[in-house]
Amino acid sequence: MKARYWCSAAALATFVLATPTLAKGPTDADLMADAASTGDVLTYGMGPRAQRFSPLTAINAGNVSRLVPAFSASLGGEKQRGQEAQPIVYDGTIYVTGSYSRLFAFDARTGEEKWQYDARLPDGIMPCCDVVNRGAAIYGDKIIFATLDARLVALNRETGKVIWNKEIGDYKAGYSATAAPLIVKGMVITGNSGGEFGIVGSVQARDVNTGELIWNRPMIEGHMGTFKGQDNGITGKTNASWPGDLWKTGGGATWLGGTYDPETNLLYFGTGNPAPWNSHLRKGDNLYTSSTVAINPDTGKIVWHYQTTPHDGWDFDGVNEFIPFDATINGKPMKLGAKADRNGYFFVLDRTNGKFIGAHKFVMQTTWADGFNAKTGRPNYIEANRPGMPSADGKGSQVFASPSFLGGKNWMPMAYSNDTGLFYIPSNDWGMDIWNEPIAYKKGAAYLGAGFTIKPIAEDHIGALRAMDPKTGKIVWEYKNKAPLWGGVLTTAGNLVFTGTPEGYLKAFDAKTGQELWKFQTGSGVVGSPVTWEQDGEQYIAVMSGWGGAVPLWGGEVAKTFKDINQGGALWVFKLPR
């Protein structure tokens, strides 16, 4: 019998609901071993490094054409908008988050709903880019997720009852949260959203059992970090790369979440755009926005950073996932990390120290820069393609920039195959007219200072799934899609790559050649991240279906082209017929 719960944030801040004692659930060791375990999916990214690679081979390139639905489970109600979640699978239960800060538990064998939790959101929430949620984290007896009013909620994984509920930011100032939390060493680690409202991006670590704050590390220079309630050093150096007081409302939201590498004991978080978008107001690099930042989880201090777009003027958030991997380059074994950035370049860094190894264009065009300097690791800017400074009473000069601010790759996670040595990148080819406008900060108001119109740049596609060799920067194959790609990618040892399309299909491709091998129509756009696991001797594939996200809200001429895609909310699970 299913149960349904909702509770107000204010009430939950003052008391804790009693929960029954349960059998022990996933441990720290289980989470760290998730990439190798096949009977469950315990972490966002299918392992702390988030490579999204499974060693399972029962479903493979030779038989995937026979894949059929095992069941579909509806999220129900009227809140069907932008189902971007990745499922978590444990002990016969599939946990998925839904739009408007909901969490569901479904029976992994039948699809029957066990329980549902609906966060009671206040009227004044300010989500920038739709009411999405990308997934939950599991630990012990808890399932934990973030909400649109910038809270972190831990539920009993068997009953759905609240264990703890904590505020991570002031939603009235524009803070929100959409990322799946990361759990490392008994700490639940998460970022925040709200860069378009002049918030300050940060990474927080909390005790997974109590929700109490352990450390907080701001991502904008000049802000003080904390550790167990005490000052823990200022991030960077005040006014080193920010003029005046703009650092106080500098953006840099860590809205996608992070990855963790046990070998280096480093957390890797991407940071968002500086605020406001009008770059002429904030001379300098504006650290640590549009960057990858490595943090020591034991101290909450930054170990290294690499800025993918210094002095960003196009909203090229650098939040994209940084995926650790090992490779031999020029005969030298190296511990590396890769990131396909909003700005259209695929970066390879030494993950131990952030040293620049290379940057390779993975989209059709990058009009804002012409490559990266191999010695400095900085972009070769095309200054004529930076939008102009506005006058006191009017907009500045307009430029055409590509990629658009929605990025060569946006939030949707790529995958790395240990078999092929390739990264599979869900990318988009589009551009935008962009111009700057006068702006001043006001708490809780949009803080852009720019206008834009997104436009297609190719006749036959916008989306393109691309297989890239990180050693050479060469694109090995690509699959073009008429609509933008907005969902995550899964790859397996069965020589397969899975991803979804806004047209409603979940598709499977040959990992070596890119040949399309199978597709299934789910009834709504697929913008979730697929996963796979083994259960009762069979391999399963699961994905969320439900169109939404930033494209229909911000996509300009592109959004008009695909305005008739139906919204929805369903979990689809597939397997081979017996």
Tell me the pLDDT tens digit for each residue of 468-527: 999 999 999 999 999 999 999 999 999 999 999 999 999 999 999 999 999 999 999 999
Confidence (pLDDT) at 391: 83
If 0-12 CB within 10 Å is exposed, 13-18 middle and 19+ buried, where does residue 423 land?
A: buried
Q: What is the pLDDT of residue 464?
A: 98
Band of residue 19 on the pLDDT scale cut at 50, 70, 90 = very low
Q: Structure tokens of 430?
A: 């589009």
Position 124 pLDDT exceeds 80? yes
Name the token pair of 512: 């070596």
Between 193 and 78, the more confident residue is: 193
Reported as a pLDDT band with limits 50, 70 and 90, residue 318 is very high
pLDDT tier at 392, thresholds 50, 70, 90: confident
**pLDDT higher than threshold 80 for residue 21:** no
Residues in Cβ contact with 410 at an 8 Å cutoff, skipping those fewer than 6 apart = 320, 342, 428, 486, 550
> Are residues 215 and 250 in contact, defined by beta-carbon separation less than 8 angstroms?
no
Give the integer Cα–Cα distance in Å for 146 and 105.
16
User: What percent of the chain has pLDDT above 90?
Assistant: 89
266-289 mean pLDDT:
97
- Give me the residue label for tokens 């500098």: 250
Q: How far apart are CA 317 and CA 192, in angstroms?
A: 13
Residue 17 above 90 pLDDT?
Answer: no
Residue 6 has pLDDT above 80, yes or no: no
* pLDDT of residue 12 exceeding 50: no
- CATH architecture of the domain with range 3-360+526-575: 8 Propeller (2.140)
Q: Are 90 and 26 in contact (CB under 8 A)?
A: yes
d(CA 208, CA 577): 40
Any idea which residues carry the catalytic annotation? 315
Nearest CA-CA partner of 42 in 574, 543, 528, 531: 531
Is the pLDDT confidence value at 134 over 70? yes
Report which DSSP code applies to 67.
-
Residue 79's pLDDT band (cuts 50, 70, 90): confident
pLDDT the model gives residue 394: 85
pLDDT at residue 356 is higher than 60: yes
DSSP letter, residue 479: E
For residue 30, pLDDT beyond 80? yes
- The residue-averaged pLDDT of 113-134 equals 93
The count of other CB atoms within 10 Å of the CB of residue 329 is 14
CB distance 561 to 72 below 8 Å: no
Q: In this predicted structure, which of 4-18, 236-250, 426-440 has the lowest mean pLDDT?
A: 4-18
pLDDT band at 15; cut points 50, 70, 90: very low
> Does residue 1 carry a pLDDT above 50?
no
Question: For the segment 524-561, what is each residue's pLDDT rounded down to a tens digit?
Answer: 999 999 999 999 999 999 999 999 998 888 878 888 77
Q: Is the pLDDT of residue 120 over 50?
A: yes
End-to-end CA distance of the chain: 29
From CA 180, how far away is CA 164, in angstroms rounded?
17
pLDDT at 8 over 80: no
Strands (E), 30-175: 53-54, 68-74, 88-90, 93-98, 102-107, 113-120, 137-139, 142-146, 151-156, 162-167
CA 241 to chain centre: 27
Please give the pLDDT value at position 23. 53
Omega before residue 260 within 30° of 0, cis = no
